[in-house]
């Protein structure tokens, strides 16, 4: 009984995750950088910046985002949480996200 509930919960979760992406038209291509950067928007949006929160990353050039993310990841820049976020990304992933924000 427990196994079937877990399977059902997993299926529901998988469907819930695909719904936003299913709404994109065939002409819309979601890049890997965009997909990863979407999680950053939760804290790094214009609304957050206006409220005194984290800076809006869409206002920064991609090379600056790359250098700062690598500095957070490598421990060269002090941080409260960004060092932990950045530690999970490779150079290629950081560059892909920065390219998306730099558009």
Per-residue pLDDT tens over the stretch 6-50: 454 454 454 444 444 444 444 577 899 999 999 898 899 888 888
Query: Residue 44: inside a domain, yes or no?
Result: yes
Residue 11 lies in a domain: no
**Are 75 and 83 within 8 A, CB to CB?**
yes
Q: What are phi and psi for residue 54, nearest 5 degrees?
A: -65, 150
Can you give the residue range of the structural domain that contains 91?
29-101
Number of domains in the chain: 1
Mean pLDDT across 50-56: 89
Q: Which residues contact 44 (CB under 8 A, 6 or more apart)?
A: 54, 55, 56, 57
pLDDT in tens, 60-81: 999 999 999 999 999 999 999 9
pTM: 0.68
Any idea of the CA torsion for 25, 12, 7, 34, to the nearest 10 degrees?
Answer: 50
For 83-99, the pLDDT digits (tens) are 999 999 999 999 999 99
CATH of the domain at 49: 1.10.760.10
């Amino acid at each position: 009984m427990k196994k079937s509930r877990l399977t059902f919960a997993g299926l529901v979760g998988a469907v819930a995750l695909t719904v936003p992406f299913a709404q994109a038209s065939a002409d819309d291509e979601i890049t890997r950088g965009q997909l990863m950067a979407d999680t950053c928007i939760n804290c790094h949006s214009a609304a957050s910046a206006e409220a005194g929160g984290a800076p809006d990353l869409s206002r920064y050039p991609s090379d600056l985002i790359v250098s700062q993310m690598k500095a957070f990841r490598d421990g060269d820049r002090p941080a409260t949480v960004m060092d932990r976020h950045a530690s999970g990304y490779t150079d290629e992933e950081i560059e892909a996200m920065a390219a998306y924000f730099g558009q």
